C-alpha cells in the first residue's frame, strides 16, 4: 500500500484540468472548489470514466492510466465511488445494490449476500435490506451508497459531494457517520465538495481547485488561517487582500493601505475576520491605524449578526449586530467609517 | 374546432360501432367454434408471438447500437430502420420474395444448398410479420435507451461490472417498460399484418392463412364469418391497448 499518486491533465472543449494529487493510505484528501472548477472531472479521471489527456494515475504501485498508453478500464480499477445523487439501482433492493460489486467480481450469490448484509449492518441499515431505493430516505440512501462502494474493499474511495443532497438536519448525523467510516477505511479517499464544513470536518488535507488549477493545498486549519484565493477566503469567512508589504504597511494595488500585525517585505496576502471590523457614522477617534471611509453596498442577516458589504478602499465585509445597523441607520448607499485594529490583520507571503 | 373534432371522433368510432351492430350475436358461439376460425386465430397468435420474439432478439441490440454507438452513417442507418414503417406492406412482401423467394437473391442458395424454400410457409408468415413490425420495437426501445440515465451504467462500471453485465443487470431492467411497450406494439402490428404476409406467404388454410387474411377471404363468401373474425381481432387489439396502457403507467411510476 503506497497510496495514490496522480497527475491529472484533462482537456475537454475549452476547459483544461491540470492537477496533482497525492493521497497516502488511510488519508482523506478533500477537493474543494467552486462549481465548474474541475473537481468532478478529476474524480472521473481517477475512476477511469474520463480519459486523461496527459499525466498518469498510480494506485498502490499499479499504473491505472498513463495518458492513454496503459489504461486499466473502469471495471478493473478496484475503485469505489459514491455519486452525488448516489445512483442506487432503482430496480434492485438495498441488499442487491450493495452486493452488486461483489457479484460483478464473480463472488457467489450466497457469499455476496452475506457480505452485503454485514456492510448494511455496519451502516445501521440491516433491517432495510429488502427495501427499494425509492423507499429510502436521503440519509439511508447515502449510507447504502457508501456500503456499496466499500464492500469490495477498494484501494481508492471517491466521494462526489456525498452530503450535498441531504437536508441540514440529517446532514449532521450522516457527516458524523461518514467521518467514522472514513476513519476505519484503510485505503485512500478523495472527497469532492464545495461545502467548507464538510471539507473541514472530513478531510485530512484540502486541495483548493479553481478553473482547473490547484490554487492551494494544506490542512484544514492552515487553509482556515491563511487562505490564498478569494474563493478559499469566502469559504472560511475571511476578508482577503493581496498587496506589497514594507514593514507592517501593506499597499493594496486597488487602492488603500492596511497596517498589519506582522512585519514582512514584498508580496503578501492579508487576512482579516469580518467580526474584527467595526463601523462608525463619523470618523472614529481612535488609536487604530486602519480607518477608512466607504459606502454600504449590501447587507445580509446571518443568525445573530448582520454581514455588511462596504465598498471603499479597500472593500470589506463587516459582521455587526442588528443594534449597530439600527444605531447607524445603515442602508444601501449609506456612507460609513470602517475601523480595524492592526493586530487583527494577518499577513503572510504569497 | 368542436364540430370537426366530433366529426373525426365519429369517423373513428362509427365503423367499429357498425361492426358491433351487424354482428350475429345469436350465432356467435357457433361461429367462434368453427374450425377455420380457431385455426386462423391460433396461427395468428403463434406467428405474431414468434415474430415478436424475433424482433426482441434482433431489435433490442439494434436499438442499443442506434442509441449508444457513435459511428459514421448512424443517421442513415436509423432512417433505413424506419423504412418498413412507411413502406406499403405489399411492397415489403414483394421485396421479401425477391430476396428469399425460390429465385431470390438469397433464396436460390437456400433452395439449392439446403433444400429450404421459405415462401408460402408458416416461417414466411413470421418473417413477413417481423419485417413489418420490427421498426416499432426498435424505435420504442431506442427512445427508452436515450431517456435512461447513463450514469447508472457508470456506477455499475465502477463496481466492476463488464459491459455485458451492465447491459443485462442495469440497462435492460432500467428500460424494461420501454421494451415491454415496444414488444406489445410489435405484437399488435404483427397480428394485423396482411399485405406483406399474403404477398410473401400466400393464403393456405392452417399454414399461412392468418386472421386478417381469413377476414378478407370470408368477406366474399361468408360475410357473417368475416364479422365474427373481425370482432375477435378487435377484442385482441383492445386487450393489447389495455395492457399497453397499464405498462406505460407502471413505467412512468418507477
| CA distance readout (Å), B16 to A267, B135, B211, B235 | 88, 27, 17, 11
Residues A275, A340: Cα–Cα separation, whole Å? 10
Write the CB contacts of B110 (distance below 8 Å, at least 6 apart in sequence).
B100, B116, B117, B118
Chain A residues inside the 8 Å CB shell of B155: 81, 83, 87, 89
Q: pLDDT band for position B65 (50/70/90)? A: very high
Q: What is the mean pLDDT of residues B144-163?
A: 92
pLDDT digits (tens, 9 = 90+) for A200-259: 899 999 999 998 999 999 999 999 999 999 999 988 889 999 999 988 889 999 888 999
Contacts made by residues A70-75, CB under 8 angstroms, sequence distance 24+: A72/A48, A73/A48, A73/B157, A74/A47, A74/A48, A74/A49, A74/B154, A74/B157, A74/B158, A75/A104, A75/B157, A75/B158, A75/B159, A75/B160, A75/B161, A75/B162
Q: What is the mean pLDDT of residues A193-203?
A: 88
Residues B214, B22: Cα–Cα separation, whole Å? 18
Q: pLDDT band for position A12 (50/70/90)? A: confident
Query: Which has the minimum average pLDDT: A58-72, A224-238, B155-169?
Result: A58-72
The shares of helix, strand and coil residues in chain A, as percent rounded to the nearest 5, are 30, 35, 35
Cross-chain CB nearest to A104 (options B151, B154, B159): B159
Q: pLDDT band for position B251 (50/70/90)? A: very low
Q: pLDDT band for position B41 (50/70/90)? A: confident
Residues B98, A97: Cα–Cα separation, whole Å? 51
Query: Which residue is associated with the grid cell 495514490?
Result: A4
Residues A135, A95: Cα–Cα separation, whole Å? 13
Residue A280 in this model has a pLDDT that exceeds 80? yes
Look at B162 and A75 and tell me if their CB atoms are within 8 Å: yes
Residue B36 or residue B180, greater confidence: B180
Look at B160 and A78 and tell me if their CB atoms are within 8 Å: yes
Q: pLDDT band for position A313 (50/70/90)? A: confident
Query: Which has the minimum average pLDDT: A11-15, B15-19, B169-173?
Result: A11-15
B170 and chain A in contact, CB less than 8 A: yes
pLDDT digits (tens, 9 = 90+) for B204-234: 888 999 999 999 988 888 888 888 888 888 8
Q: In what order do the strands lie in the sheet with A346-349?
A: A239-251, A257-272, A346-349
Residue A9 in this model has a pLDDT that exceeds 80? yes
Q: pLDDT band for position B247 (50/70/90)? A: low
Residues A230, A212: Cα–Cα separation, whole Å? 16
Chain B residues inside the 8 Å CB shell of A87: 149, 151-152, 154-155
Q: What percent of chain B has pLDDT over 90?
A: 50
Q: pLDDT band for position A68 (50/70/90)? A: low
Q: What is the pLDDT of residue B165?
A: 92
Q: What is the mean pLDDT of residues B168-195?
A: 92
Residue A24 or residue A35, greater confidence: A24
Look at A104 and B152 and tell me if their CB atoms are within 8 Å: no
For helices A138-150 and A168-184, angle between their N-to-C axes, nearest 10 degrees? 20
Q: What percent of chain A has pLDDT over 90?
A: 59
Q: What is the mean pLDDT of residues A185-211?
A: 91
Query: Which residue is associated with the grid cell 484528501?
Result: A29
Q: What is the mean pLDDT of residues A14-40?
A: 90
Look at B158 and A77 and tell me if their CB atoms are within 8 Å: yes
pLDDT digits (tens, 9 = 90+) for A292-312: 999 999 998 888 889 999 999
What grid cell was written down for B99?
430476396
Chain B residues inside the 8 Å CB shell of A148: 159
Residue B16 in this model has a pLDDT that exceeds 50? yes
Residues A259, A342: Cα–Cα separation, whole Å? 5
Q: Which helix (H) or strand (E) holds B100?
A: helix B89-100
Q: What percent of chain A has pLDDT over 70?
A: 99
Provide the 10 A C-beta neighbour count for residue A87: 24
Residues B130, A267: Cα–Cα separation, whole Å? 77
Residue B167 in this model has a pLDDT that exceeds 60? yes
Q: pLDDT band for position B252 (50/70/90)? A: very low
Q: What is the mean pLDDT of residues A267-278?
A: 92
pLDDT digits (tens, 9 = 90+) for A109-161: 999 999 999 999 999 998 999 999 999 999 999 999 999 999 999 999 999 99
A71 CA to centre of own chain? 29
Amino acid at each position: 500500500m503506497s497510496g495514490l499518486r496522480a497527475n491529472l491533465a484533462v482537456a475537454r472543449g475549452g476547459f483544461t484540468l491540470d492537477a496533482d494529487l497525492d493521497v497516502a493510505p488511510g488519508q482523506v484528501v478533500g477537493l474543494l472548489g467552486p462549481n465548474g472548477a474541475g473537481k468532478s472531472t478529476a474524480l472521473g479521471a481517477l475512476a477511469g470514466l474520463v480519459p486523461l489527456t496527459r499525466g498518469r494515475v498510480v494506485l498502490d504501485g499499479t499504473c491505472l492510466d498513463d495518458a492513454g498508453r496503459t489504461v486499466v478500464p473502469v471495471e478493473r480499477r478496484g475503485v469505489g465511488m459514491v455519486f452525488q445523487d448516489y445512483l442506487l439501482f432503482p430496480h434492485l433492493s438495498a441488499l442487491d445494490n450493495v452486493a452488486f460489486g461483489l457479484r460483478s467480481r464473480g463472488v457467489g450469490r450466497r457469499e455476496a449476500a452475506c457480505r452485503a448484509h454485514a456492510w448494511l449492518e455496519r451502516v445501521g441499515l440491516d433491517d432495510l435490506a429488502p427495501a427499494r431505493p425509492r423507499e429510502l430516505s436521503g440519509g439511508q440512501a447515502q449510507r447504502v451508497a457508501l456500503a456499496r462502494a466499500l464492500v469490495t474493499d477498494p484501494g481508492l474511495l471517491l466521494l462526489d459531494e456525498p452530503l450535498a443532497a441531504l437536508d441540514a438536519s440529517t446532514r449532521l448525523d450522516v457527516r458524523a457517520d461518514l467521518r467514522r467510516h472514513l476513519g476505519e477505511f484503510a485505503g485512500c479517499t478523495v472527497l469532492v465538495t464545495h461545502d467548507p464544513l464538510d471539507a473541514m470536518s472530513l478531510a485530512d488535507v484540502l486541495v483548493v481547485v479553481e478553473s482547473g488549477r490547484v490554487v492551494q493545498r494544506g490542512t484544514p486549519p492552515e487553509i482556515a488561517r491563511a487562505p490564498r484565493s478569494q474563493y478559499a477566503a469566502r469559504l472560511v469567512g475571511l476578508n482577503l487582500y493581496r498587496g506589497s508589504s514594507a514593514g507592517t504597511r501593506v499597499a493594496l494595488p486597488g487602492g488603500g493601505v492596511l497596517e498589519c500585525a506582522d512585519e514582512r517585505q514584498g508580496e503578501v496576502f492579508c487576512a482579516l475576520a469580518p467580526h474584527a471590523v467595526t463601523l462608525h457614522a463619523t470618523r472614529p477617534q481612535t488609536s487604530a491605524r486602519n480607518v477608512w471611509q466607504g459606502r454600504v453596498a449590501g447587507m445580509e442577516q446571518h443568525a445573530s449578526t448582520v454581514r455588511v458589504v462596504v465598498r471603499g478602499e479597500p472593500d470589506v465585509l463587516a459582521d455587526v449586530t442588528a443594534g449597530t445597523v439600527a444605531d447607524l441607520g445603515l442602508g444601501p448607499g449609506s456612507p460609513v467609517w470602517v475601523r480595524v485594529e492592526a493586530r487583527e490583520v494577518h499577513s503572510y507571503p504569497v | 374546432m368542436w364540430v370537426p373534432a366530433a366529426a373525426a371522433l365519429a369517423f373513428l368510432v362509427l365503423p367499429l360501432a357498425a361492426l358491433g351492430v351487424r354482428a350475429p350475436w345469436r350465432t356467435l358461439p357457433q361461429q367462434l367454434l368453427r374450425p377455420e376460425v380457431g385455426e386462423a386465430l391460433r396461427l395468428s397468435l403463434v406467428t405474431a408471438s414468434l415474430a415478436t420474439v424475433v424482433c426482441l432478439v434482433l431489435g433490442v441490440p439494434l436499438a442499443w447500437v442506434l442509441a449508444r454507438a457513435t459511428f459514421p452513417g448512424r443517421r442513415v442507418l436509423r432512417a433505413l430502420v424506419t423504412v418498413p414503417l412507411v413502406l406499403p406492406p405489399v411492397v415489403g412482401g414483394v421485396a421479401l420474395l425477391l430476396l428469399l423467394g425460390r429465385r431470390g437473391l438469397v433464396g436460390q442458395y437456400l433452395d439449392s444448398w439446403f433444400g429450404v424454400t421459405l415462401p408460402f410457409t408458416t416461417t414466411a408468415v413470421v418473417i413477413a410479420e417481423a419485417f413489418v413490425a420490427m421498426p416499432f420495437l426498435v424505435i420504442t426501445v431506442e427512445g427508452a435507451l436515450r431517456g435512461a440515465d447513463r450514469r447508472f451504467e457508470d456506477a455499475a462500471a465502477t463496481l466492476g461490472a463488464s459491459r455485458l453485465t451492465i447491459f443485462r443487470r442495469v440497462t435492460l431492467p432500467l428500460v424494461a417498460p420501454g421494451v415491454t411497450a415496444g414488444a406489445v406494439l410489435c405484437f399488435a402490428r404483427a397480428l394485423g399484418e396482411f399485405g406483406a404476409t399474403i404477398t410473401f406467404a400466400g393464403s393456405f388454410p392452417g399454414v399461412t392463412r392468418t386472421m386478417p387474411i381469413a377476414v378478407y377471404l370470408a368477406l366474399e363468401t361468408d360475410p357473417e364469418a368475416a364479422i365474427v373474425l373481425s370482432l375477435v381481432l378487435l377484442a385482441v387489439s383492445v386487450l393489447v391497448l389495455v395492457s399497453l396502457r397499464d405498462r406505460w403507467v407502471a413505467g412512468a411510476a418507477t
